[in-house]
Structure 1
Amino acid sequence: MHTLNDKWMRVAGVPLLSLLGQWMMYGYTNVPYPDDWRIPVFFVLGAVLVWEANRQGIIVSRQRYPELGQTRQRVLFQLVWFFFFAGIIRITQTLFYDLIGLWQTDDVFEIKPYFFNTLVSVIGTIQLAAMFEGIYLYQRWKVAYTEAQELKKVNLQSQLESLKTQINPHFLFNNLNSLSSLIGSAPRKAEEFLDDLSAVYRYLLQQNNRSLCPLADELQFIRAYFYLIKTRYGEGIFMKVDIDDRLLKHLIPPLTLQILFENAIKHNVISVNRPLTIRLYTRDNTLFVENNFQKKKVAVPSNGIGLQNITMKYKLLDGPPVMIQQDESRFLVGVPLMKPKVEEPV
């Protein structure tokens, strides 16, 4: 998108527009059009040079300020570039005209021809640039609209998956069954289990309308969620956490950890003899979720929607890519942590 689709403009449009601009300039200054073929030829060559120089300014401005919200900076950058390069080329060209005798003047540095030659080139360039900028803005808007629609689709899919978890009969039955067994044997643990169960459901209900949340919230949720899992599997599953406290306010898409934990539990053997260990740790502003890989003999059906949703969310939020690695002994997902926005003082 940083390139310009201006092939025909470069080949024919700029020369024809330059001849039109020259004719208008002579008409405006009431100076008879010169009977010398060299003047229109050199003017066309100058116009081509001006456009080739200024189109680079358009490309550079798009590389530096590509977003819709950076339109003002992009346009100002282009204007400064146009005036600078058009001025250098047209002033040099006008001086060249005088030195080779294309017109007679008593003062080599008479301001009028330099001014009008430069003005015509700048105005012509601005008109062409405005057309290309309009096309660029439309393309950026179209991309932004498409990404917004995709993000809405991903969010709806995420909400659907969250809703499935909330009403999943197996999830609810297993937790109620665990709670029932604890009530008689360990009433204190049953109370703690019920508190964590309610915290899990409360968090699931609250996250549907959020695109990002603090890492601290996710960790608090996953601890409550893991307590439910731990109650069920006992010594068959463990969680180790090594999180840099400085990153707790950094942002992450909600329910990311739940998806990764469910993925690990779903696809790996969990037993006292072969315990599953899930590690959470941070490195270089990235949250890593790692588990020892011990694949079940009977493959569990999977559509991969969970990991796809996480990856798509980061892509649509213009975040760094999600890292996924797997070998014979481990499965690792690296989730980038986004810096929180600095609140402006009131």
Structure 2
Amino acid sequence: MEHPILSHRFGLLIYLGFWFSFTCALFAIDWYFQANFFQNALISSLSISLPLLIIAPSIWYIVRHIDVDKIGRMAAALHHITVAIIMVAIWLSLTYLIFSFFDKAPIANNDKPEIIMPYYWLAFMAFAIYDYIVMVYYVFIYYRSFKSKIENEADLKNLIKEAEINALKSQINPHFLFNSLNSVSSLTLVRPEQSRDMLVKLSTFLRYSLDQDLKELNMLSNEMENSRLYLEIEKVRFGDRLILDFEIDESIKDLKIPNLILQPIYENAIKHGVHESLEPVVIKTKAEIRNNNLIIQISNNFDKDAITPKGKGIGLKNIMERLNLIYGRTDLLAITRTESNFVVNMEFPQNN
């Protein structure tokens, strides 16, 4: 995160304005209310405020280093107390050095300047100012984090709209519907019961796909049920060339994953594996819970000698972006490709 003062012109101007106001306030107190000489009051106020000109911006790096969310409030407070003692000691030392320098200089009316207040009161004031600066920096950090979260939510909404369009295009595309209906037509005369069953599965699959909101989470059991419908419809087309293997424990079926996030992976397995292979292709789905994460692995073999259709990888890219925006992590999707096997590993953190 950029420095709020040094990285922005307006931030620097605002800070200099506050510093000048602080210096003027010290001068006014010493000159007007304590009836000190003009030059003496100016020396006193500058001796106190000049160290602050450097110390205040440097506190930012300390605040960035002390992460309250990671180390806890008590540890953060102890860190800040320690740093505050060091900063106040540096501030008072610099104030004394500057004041001593002017103290040796010739002063009008032979009056030696006097500091505006005793050093123990200066120490108290320095502690209070340190606390105030720390508070301002934390407010700035939380504001930027909140703003970033809003921007991420806006990006997620835009991505969801894109994903909805891409999902509908891939799930209800003319080729899929044409192939499915053509298979139903072929089965009508030969195996009417199977054609009727395929129509029911097709309508159920389309209804589920249209009803889902991609920004929400759904139970694994519902997603797998819909995925099975899709794969069983495709199995009618490819017959023994498509073999389905599921290893899913009943105890994890209530865990949550994003809606329709598995669909593009199965489509890729059909398109690049089953469609281009003359040998049987096994699409294996394995799901387990590990360290409070739902781990889903989808793999399929493919014909290494077949010329697979070229794609842009939009489906997997959308999955990665959705996982990043929903869970705030970029390491939840891993793809492994060997000579004749394609494996997709996904992790879904379970917060509840």
> In the aligned structure 2, how far is the partner of 1:267 from the partner of 1:53?
56
Q: Which residue of 2 aligns with 1:108?
A: none
Structure 1's unaligned 5+ residue stretches are 67-72, 103-110
- Percent identity, please: 24
Aligned to 1:287: 296
Inter-partner Cα distance in structure 2 for 1:138 and 1:258 = 37
Q: How many pairs were matched up? A: 322
CA distance in 2, matches of 1:28, 1:133: 35
2:126 is equivalent to residue 117 of structure 1: no
The equivalent of 1:70 in structure 2 is none
1:268 alignment partner, SS class:
helix
Question: Contact (CA 8 Å) 2:205, 2:226: kept in 1 or not?
Answer: yes
Q: 1:116 to 1:186 in 2, by over 3 A?
A: same
- Name the amino acid aligned to 2:284: R
Deviations 1:286-305 (Å, cap 9, x if unpaired)? Answer: 21111113257444242221
Pick aligned residue for 2:167 from 139, 162, 171: 162
Contact kept, 8 Å, 1:238 with 1:278, in 2: the verdict is yes
Q: Which moved more, 1:48-57 or 1:313-322?
A: 48-57
Could you say which residue in structure 2 is the equivalent of 1:86?
84
User: 1:305 matched to which residue of 2?
Assistant: 314
2:347 pairs, out of 336, 341, 346, with 336
Residue 293 to residue 118, structure 1, CA distance change in 2 (3 Å): farther
Query: 1:107 matched to which residue of 2?
Result: none
TM-score by length of 1: 0.72
Check 1:264–1:221 CA distance in 2 against 1; reply closer, same or farther (3 A cut).
same
Which has the larger displacement, 205-214 or 266-275?
266-275
Aligned AA (2:256): L
Q: Distance in 2 between matches of 1:53 and 1:305?
A: 45
User: Distance in 2 between the 1:150 and 1:229 partners?
Assistant: 34
Could you tell me whether the CA contact under 8 Å between 1:268 and 1:296 is conserved in 2?
A: no
TM-score (norm 2): 0.71
Amino acid corresponding to residue 265 of structure 1 in structure 2? I
CA 124–29 in structure 1, closer or farther in 2 if over 3 Å, else same: farther
From 236, 243, 247, the equivalent of 2:241 is 236
Q: Secondary structure at the match of 1:278?
A: strand
Structure 2 CA distance for partners of 1:84 and 1:17, relative to 1, 3 Å: farther
Instruction: Indicate the RMSD between aligned Cα atoms, in angstroms.
Output: 4.3
Instruction: After superposition, give the CA deviation of every residue in 1:244-267 in whole Å (9 maximum; x if it has no partner).
Output: 444323322222221001111112
In structure 2, C-alpha distance between the alignment counterparts of 1:254 and 1:4, rounded to whole Å = 40
- From the superposition, tell whether residues 24 and 334 of structure 1 become closer, same or farther in structure 2 (CA, over 3 Å): farther
